Amino acid sequence: MKVDRCSLEWAETEFGDAELGDRRRGRRLIRMAATMALRPAGRICQVFTTSAERQGAYDLVANHALDPNKVLASAARAACCRAQESEVIVAVDGTSLTLVDRGKKKGFGPIGALQKKARGLKVISAYAISTDGTPLGLLSQTWWNRSEGPMRQRYSRPLGDKETRHWLDTMTEATARVAEVGRDLRLCFVADRECDSRHVLETLDAFAASGHTFIVRSSANRRVFQGEKTRKDGRRRADRIYVKDRLAKTRSYGTYRLQVPAGPGRAARIACMSVRAVEVSVRIVNRQNDVVRALRLNFVETHEIWTCPRGETPIHWRLLTNIPAVDSDAARQVIDRYSLRWRIEEFHRTWKSGRCNIETTQLRQRSHVIRWATLMAPVATRIERLKALSRTQPDLLATTEFSQDELEALRMEKEQTKRRNEVLPRGTPTLAQAVLWVAEMGGYTGKSSGGPPGAITIGRGLERLRIAANVLKQLRSAGKIR
């Protein structure tokens, strides 16, 4: 497959400064990534059409000199350069890759419930997002596989034996890579309930010295310091006050309306959400030596009132953060920042089982799978970025993300398939219009598809558009068209 200029420029932006130790290896990586952007798929044989390309791709993912951390570091620098504001949201989340390993010889480990006997790899990603919700790219990833057999109780294990250390490594590496870029970027880490633990909170709190913040969804009703009481026998004991009690006594900041889309077991509605916030000193207990320390945090609670249908669980978030939530606007900002965490779940879906479909790979070694998945991750980010931009900044000109050859081919295709009463805009279309046309090339049918264009139809349409743009470019170079 011939690589078009747009895909080649994107690949050079993502991987051009990867320190791979050999210039030839870097050139092969860029050309290979450009082809992957043209035809994303889970298997190498689905991406590359000639035997020479396939053999080159197999050789590259099997090359131990190709360090996936250095490849991802180059993509992380490109993500930082795309940031237009001083604050970047970093969503941190873990997921599992379910992979075929019937003989248990590929170096994978068990995932999910032991009785299901599924095998694969675990990975935690740090995903950079702009404050308006536009994906910027991956900052770091940490891979591991679980050991065979049951796990010990988490409280009885040191940090080095806990999976918590992988979360800390991912966050620490993300801050280090941002610092390497040299830009004054402030990171706001957002994470789900897995990060409501002593080690993670202490690490995130330490990042505050560099100007970084965090928002973590609380998983427990934590105890706070609230003075001491004197018993009848004269002895003093700590007063047991919990965050939930403090929030219940706090005056509400008011309500706001939230558009809730339909989902499994959830009805579409406009929810009425109440907001409260309180600043407390949380008790952080080291279970190994029973040492207790205080961590000053803000708790922001938002919960649904009056609008929850019968039989459903009301929406309820309790967020702990080091961002001051002194009024309604500040509390709403914390909630809005946390709501962007869902972007990383969309990225994981596109990467694993969506357009990139990395879980279908048939590679036979753990290291080969990690290299292939690392190369495909920026491709998934590109699809997600295009999808988000068409929704958050629909009035941008399409030239910001498409080449002139692509736009010309897209307009020619649309002229052939438009409805009789449909009038196409003159001049350069907006990004939202161009993405809609691309999705229609990929099979999007409008309202009957169940919502706005998604990653699968956009990715499929991009593949067909690249082919049409290449044909147009070749005809122009041959002098057959002007």
What is the pTM for the complete model shown? 0.88
In a domain, residue 118? The reply is no
Q: Count CB-CB contacts under 10 A for residue 200.
A: 20
In a domain, residue 111? The reply is no
Taking a C-beta distance cutoff of 8 angstroms, is the pair 360, 285 a contact?
no
In a domain, residue 449? The reply is yes
**DSSP SS3 for 121:** strand
Per-residue pLDDT tens over the stretch 54-108: 999 999 999 999 999 999 999 999 999 999 899 999 999 999 999 988 888 898 9
Q: What pLDDT does residue 122 have?
A: 95
In a domain, residue 301? The reply is no
Contacts of 411-415 with C-beta under 8 Å, sequence gap 24+, read 412/468, 412/472, 413/437, 413/441, 413/465, 413/468, 414/440
Q: What pLDDT does residue 371 have?
A: 95
Q: In sequence order, what are the residues at sequence separation of 6 or more whose Cβ sits closer than 8 angstroms to the Cβ of residue 393?
A: 132, 134, 431
**Which residues of the chain fall short of a pLDDT of 50?**
1, 230, 236
Q: Residue 151: beta bridge partners? A: none
Q: What pLDDT does residue 1 have?
A: 46
Q: What pLDDT does residue 236 have?
A: 47
Q: In sequence order, what are the residues at sequence separation of 6 or more whose Cβ sits closer than 8 angstroms to the Cβ of residue 229?
A: 236, 237, 238, 239
Q: What pLDDT does residue 8 have?
A: 83
Domain count, the chain: 1
Determine which helix (DSSP H) or strand (DSSP E) holds 96, and give its type and residue range: strand 87-98
In a domain, residue 473? The reply is yes
Per-residue pLDDT tens over the stretch 369-422: 999 999 999 999 988 998 888 888 888 888 877 878 888 888 888 888 888 788
In a domain, residue 3? The reply is no
In a domain, residue 85? The reply is no
Which amino acid, 227?
G
Parent domain of 458: 394-477
In a domain, residue 106? The reply is no
End-to-end C-alpha distance for the chain, whole angstroms: 24
